[in-house]
Amino acid sequence: MRGPLCILAGAGTGKTTTITRRIAWQVASGAFPPQQIVAVTFTGKAAGELRARLGALGVEGVRASTFHSAALALLRHFQGDPGRILATKALLLRRIGNTLPGAFRFRPAGDLATEIEWAKNRRLTPETYDDALGDREPPLPRDLMGRVFSEYERRKAAEGLLDFEDLLERTVRLLEEDEEARAGVHERWRAFTVDEYQDVNLLQQALLDLWLGERDELCAVGDDYQAIYGFTGASAGWLLALPQRFPHARVVQLERSYRSTSQVLELANRLVPRLAGSAKTLAPTLPDGPEPVVGPGLDVAAHVRQLHADGLPLEEMAVLVRTNARTSEFEEAFHDAAIPFQGASMLARDAARQLLKALHGRRGPAAEIVRQLAVRQGLLSEVPDKLGEREQTRQADLARLVRLAEEFPGEADGFVDLLHERFGESAGRGVHLLTLHRAKGLEWEAVLLPRVEEGELPVRRGDVEEERRLFYVGLTRAKRHLLVTWEGRPSRFLDELGVRAAAPPLPKRERPVLEQTPAVQALREWRLARARADEVPAYVVFNDRTLAELAARTPRTIAELAAVPGIGPAKLERYGPELLARLADLAA
C-alpha cells in the first residue's frame, strides 16, 4: 500500500469502494496514520461521501476534501485568514456586464465566468490572456473580454475578495516561495489519493506537485473515457502520464461494471475503439436486461409513460440533453403529458429571469411587450456558432419566449402566470431532466438520450473527441433501460455504434418540399424581410409548416387567416393585413 498507483476505473466499476478500502488498509497496516493521508476530490458532496465510507470502515481523521478546501486550510495555517471568498463570480461579473456596450451587456455572466476560470486555471493574468488565446473564441470580442477580465480582477482586489482560483494560486505561490511552509506540508501530509484525476487542470496539478515534492506516495484514480471538461482547462493527460512520471508505478484497470446490464454495456463498448487513451472494455456483473431502444423519431414522453406504467418510478428515469437550451423543449412536453420532472427549469436561466424581472408591473399585450423586451435584451435574428453555450441557450430561450407570447392572446401579467405554470418544477420529484455534463457521476434505472444528431451531439464547433466521450458518459449512466433517438441528421456517433441511422419520416403535413413551391418561396422572402425588420429569427414570425398551410389555403379574409394553424390573435393583429395583401398579390 505504498508507492505510486494509477487506477483506471471504468464507469460503474466501484472506484469509491476501491480507494476507501485502500486507504483503510494503509491505516490498518500502519503504513500511514490517518492524519497524514489526504484524499482529494472535486466536490464537497464527493468529499463527504469519501468521509462517510471511511467512517463506515472505522477510519477517522483522514483529510477528505476538495483541492480548494485543502488550499484554504493551508493558507489559514501559514498566513491567517486570506479574506472573504466569492461563492460565485456571477454577481460581480453581472455588474461588470451591465457596463458593456449594446447587447453585449446581456451576455450570461456564466459564460464570462467560465472564460475567466479557463484563463486562471492556466495561470494566465489579464496581461498574458490575449497572447495565450490562440484560435480560441471567447464569449466576447477578445479586447472586450480582456477588459472584463482586468476589471473583474481590479474590483475583486478593491473589495478584498478572492475566488476559488485565487485560493489555489496563492497556495502555490506560498509553497513555491516559503521553504519552511513547504517543509511543514511535507511533514504533515505524506500520502495522497486524488479521485477523478482526469479532471485535474494545470493549476491543481501545480499545487499537487508542491504537496508531493520529491515523494511518490500518490494514488491517482480516474477514467480518461469520462474526461469531458477540457473547456475548463482540465486534461486527462496528467492521469495517463503518471506511469511515465513514476516508472515504477503500478497500473490497475477496473473493468467489471456493477451498474449496467450486459445489453447497456454492449452498446456503450462499441465506442471504445474510438475513445483512444487507455483501452478499457466494461464487463457486466448484473443479470441481463432489456435491449436498448435505438431509433429515429421516438416519443420520449410516451416511453417514460410506458416505463412508469410497468412499475418504474419516475425518479429512476433521466432525460439527458447536450445543452440547457434543449431542456425547455422537454419541460413543455412533460407538462403537456402531465409528467412531473425535476432538475431543469427555463425560468431559472438568464433569459427568462431577466425578462420576468422586466415584465414586473408591465401592462399591455404580452406578445408586443415580450417581443420588445427580447429585442432590447439582444435577441438575434441569426445566432452565430461562435457564441458561448450559455449565450446560445439564452438566445434559444428568448426566441422560445417570444414564440410563446405570440401564441398567448392575453395580457403580460397572464403570460407570467402561464410561464410559471408551464415551466415550474415538481419540487424534488419526477423524471430527472438535465444536461449530459451534469449527469456525470450519477446513475438511473432508465436513461433517455434524445437529439443524438449532428449539431447537437456533437455540438457545433465542439471538440469531437470530447463530445464522443460525453456521449459515452450518457450511455453509461443507465442501469437497465436505455433509449437513443434523433430527429434531424443522425450523429456520426451512431455510425460508430453500428446503428443504421436513417432520418425519421416527416409527418404527412410536413412532407412538401417548400422550396419547390413558388408561393411558399415568395412567402419565405416576405417572412425573411419582416424578421429582419423586427430583428427576430424568421421562425418567430412563422414556421415552415404555417407557410405551407398559407400557400395551400390562400386565405382571403381575416376570418380565413385566423383558421390557419400557427396564427394566433397576436400574429393575426401584427401580420394580418400585410399578409393578406401579399397573398392577394400571389393569387393575381
> At which of 400, 417, 434 does a domain end?
417
Query: Which of 31-40, 64-73, 317-326, 532-541 is predicted least confidently?
Result: 532-541
Q: 293 lies in a domain?
A: yes
Q: Over the stretch 177-225, which tens digit does the pLDDT of each residue have?
A: 999 999 999 999 999 999 999 999 999 999 999 999 999 999 999 999 9
Cα–Cα separations (whole angstroms), residue 99 to 102, 119, 151, 271, 395: 9, 22, 11, 46, 20
Q: Phi then psi for 46, rounded to 5 degrees? A: -65, -40
* pLDDT of 509: 36
Q: Give me the torsion for CA of 544, 548, 554, 556, rounded to 10°.
A: -30
Q: What is the mean pLDDT of residues 162-168?
A: 95
- Provide the pLDDT confidence category of residue 514 given band limits of 50, 70 and 90: very low
Number of domains observed in the structure of the chain: 5
- The grid coordinates listed for 411 are 395580457
Q: 578 lies in a domain?
A: yes
Task: Tell whether 481 and 523 lie within a shared domain.
Answer: no
Task: Tell whether 288 and 322 lie within a shared domain.
Answer: yes
Q: 468 lies in a domain?
A: yes
Give the containing element (helix H, strand E) for 468.
helix 464-475
* pLDDT of 273: 93
Please list the helix, strand and coil fractions of the chain in percent, rounded to the nearest 5, in that order.
55, 15, 35
Query: Which of 36-40, 119-123, 167-171, 325-329 is predicted least confidently?
Result: 325-329
* pLDDT of 384: 67
Task: Tell whether 336 and 364 lie within a shared domain.
Answer: no
Q: Over the stretch 304-316, which tens digit does the pLDDT of each residue have?
A: 999 999 999 999 9
Q: What is the mean pLDDT of residues 386-397?
A: 76
- C-alpha 463/C-alpha 96 separation (Å) is 30
Task: Tell whether 322 and 438 lie within a shared domain.
Answer: yes
Please say if the pLDDT value at position 441 is more than 80: yes
SS3 per residue for 211-262 = HHCCCCCEEEEECHHHCCCHHHCCCCHHHHCHHHHCCCCEEEEECEECCCCH
How do beta strands 161-162 and 84-85 pair?
A: parallel
Task: Tell whether 337 and 451 lie within a shared domain.
Answer: yes
Please say if the pLDDT value at position 295 is more than 50: yes
Which of 238, 283, 244 lies closest to 260 in space, CA to CA?
283
- Please name the residue that has the C-alpha cell 419566449: 401
Q: 51 lies in a domain?
A: yes
Q: 167 lies in a domain?
A: no
* pLDDT of 513: 44
Please say if the pLDDT value at position 47 is more than 60: yes
Q: What is the mean pLDDT of residues 489-495?
A: 94
Q: 372 lies in a domain?
A: yes
Cα–Cα separations (whole angstroms), residue 370 to 348, 391, 421: 17, 19, 17
CATH number at residue 570: 1.10.150.80
Task: Tell whether 286 and 322 lie within a shared domain.
Answer: yes
Query: Which of 26-40, 107-121, 423-437, 463-477 is predicted least confidently?
Result: 423-437
Task: Tell whether 334 and 437 lie within a shared domain.
Answer: yes
> At which of 215, 236, 254 does a domain end?
254
- Provide the pLDDT confidence category of residue 512 given band limits of 50, 70 and 90: very low
Q: What is the mean pLDDT of residues 111-115?
A: 91
* pLDDT of 507: 43
Percent of the chain with pLDDT over 90: 57
| Domain around 113 | 87-162
Q: Over the stretch 61-95, which tens digit does the pLDDT of each residue have?
A: 999 999 999 999 999 999 999 989 988 898 899 89
Q: Which amino acid is at 268?
A: A
* pLDDT of 349: 82
Q: Over the stretch 234-264, which tens digit does the pLDDT of each residue have?
A: 999 999 999 999 999 999 999 999 999 999 9
Task: Tell whether 339 and 472 lie within a shared domain.
Answer: yes
Burial 546-561 (b: 16+ CB within 10 A, else e): bbbbbbeeebeeeeeb
Query: Which of 242-256, 379-393, 432-446 is predicted least confidently?
Result: 379-393
Task: Tell whether 98 and 224 lie within a shared domain.
Answer: no
Task: Tell whether 447 and 336 lie within a shared domain.
Answer: yes
- Please name the residue that has the C-alpha cell 387567416: 561
Give the containing element (helix H, strand E) for 329.
helix 324-336
CATH number at residue 70: 3.40.50.300
Task: Tell whether 304 and 379 lie within a shared domain.
Answer: no
Q: Which amino acid is at 114?
A: T
Q: 53 lies in a domain?
A: yes
Please say if the pLDDT value at position 283 is more than 90: yes
- C-alpha 81/C-alpha 170 separation (Å) is 12
DSSP 320: E
> At which of 473, 505, 537 does a domain end?
505
Q: Give me the torsion for CA of 166, 167, 168, 173, rounded to 10°.
A: 80
CATH number at residue 97: 1.10.10
Task: Tell whether 335 and 456 lie within a shared domain.
Answer: yes
Q: 155 lies in a domain?
A: yes
